[in-house]
Amino acid sequence: MSAPAAAKDALTAPVRTGPDYFLWLCGAASVGAIFVLGWIFFEIFQEAIPALKEFGAKFLTNATWQPNRDRFGVLPFLVGTAATSLIALLIALPPGLAIAIFLNEDFLPKPARQFIRFVVELLAAIPSVVYGLWGIFVVIPLIQQLGSWCAERFPNVPLLAGPAYGNSLLTASVVLALMILPTITAISRSSLVAVPRTLREGSYALGATRWEAIFGVILPTAAPGIVAATILALGRAMGETMAVAMLIGNSPRLSWSLFSPSGTLASLLANQFGEASGLQVSALMYAALVLVALTLAVNFAGEAVLRYTEKRTAGIR
C-alpha cells in the first residue's frame, strides 16, 4: 500500500452511520428559500385577483389612479419607475466604472486606493431614509434652482418644462444614482481584478499604451461582471422605496418634464397600503405583482446577457 492511499484510508476510516443531517439542513435551507419566493408570489397574486379580473391588461396602460372612484391604472408609476432607475443608471454608470478602473490601476499607492474603495463601499451602508433626508436638504434646493433656470431658458423643451419642483423625477434619480454607485463600483472592480495578469502584460508587450490596454483588453474582458453590476444596480434602483417616496413628490400624473413630481411603483405601495381598503388593496397588490415581475425580468435579462458575454469572452480567459 502506498503512502497517500494509507492517508486516505485513515481519513475515511471512521465509518459514519445514520442520516446525513448536514445535507438535510442545507437542502432544507435551499428548498425553503424557493418555497418562500413561491409563497410571496402566490400570496400577492391571490390578493391581486379581484383587480386582475376587473382591469386585466388595461391596468398597465391606464393613466388614472383614483382610489375614491375605484379607477386604477399604473402607467404613470410604471413610467416613473423606469425613468428614475434608468436615469439613475445613466448618471451612476460612468463615474462608477471610472472609479472601478481608477482603483484597479496603480495610479495611487495601495493604501490610498484601499481607502477610496472603503469610502465608496461605505455609501452602500447608509440607510435609505438618511439618503432621503440628505436629498431633502441638499438635492431638492439644487434641483429646484436648476429646474427654474432650465424652465426659463428652454420653455419649449418638454423634458425641461416648468413649473419646476424640487420634489421631482430628477431629484429622485440623482439620489438613486448615489445609492447604486457602490454596487456598480464594487462589482465592476472585482471583475476588473479578475482579469488575468497575462492579458495585461501581453498587451503591453505588443506595444499597447495604458489606455489602449484598459479600453481594448481589460474592459472587454471584464464585461460580464460590469453587465452584472449594471443589472444589479438597476434592480436596486427599481425597488428602492423610502428615499424615493421622500423625494419624488408622489404624483400620479404623467408628465414629460424631469422637474415635475412623479411616482414609482414602490413609493405608491409604501404610501397607500396602510390606509387602503376594498378594491384599492387589490389594485396595490396588482401593482406589487407588476413590480416583482419587472425586477425578475430585469434579473433574468441580466443573467442572459451575462451568460452570453461570458461565452464570448471565454476564449481569452
Nearer to other proteins, 169 or 181 (CB): 169
Residue 261 found at the interface with other proteins (CB under 8 A): yes
Pick 217 or 245: Cβ nearer other proteins: 245
| Under rule CB under 8 A, residue 251 binds other proteins | yes
Residue 303 C-alpha cell reads as 443573467
Among 169, 223, 245, 291, binds other proteins (CB under 8 A): 245
Interface with other proteins (CB under 8 A), residue from 2, 12, 17, 68 = 68
Q: Are the CB atoms for 51 and 283 separated by under 8 Å?
A: yes
CA distances from 57 to 71, 75, 253, 257, 286 (A): 14, 11, 19, 26, 11
Buried b (16+ CB within 10 A) or exposed e, 103-142: bbeeeeeeeebeeebeebeebeeeebeebbebbbeebbee
Of positions 124, 276, 279, 305, contacts other proteins by CB under 8 A: 276
Tell me how far, at minimum, the Cβ of 239 lies from other proteins, in Å.
Answer: 18
Compare residues 116 and 136 and give the one whose CB is closer to other proteins.
136
How many other CB atoms sit within 10 Å of the CB of residue 223?
18
- Report the residue number, 60 or 63, with the smaller CB distance to other proteins: 63
Which region holds residue 164: left if phi is over 0, alpha if psi is between -120 and 50, else beta? beta
280 scored as a contact of other proteins (CB under 8 A): yes
In this chain, which stretch among 117-125, 230-238, 251-259, 294-302 interacts with other proteins, using CB under 8 A?
Answer: 251-259
From candidates 62, 134, 144, 254, binder to other proteins by CB under 8 A: 144
Residues that bind other proteins (CB under 8 A): 64-69, 136, 140-141, 144, 163, 165-167, 245-246, 249-253, 261, 263, 267, 270-272, 274-277, 280
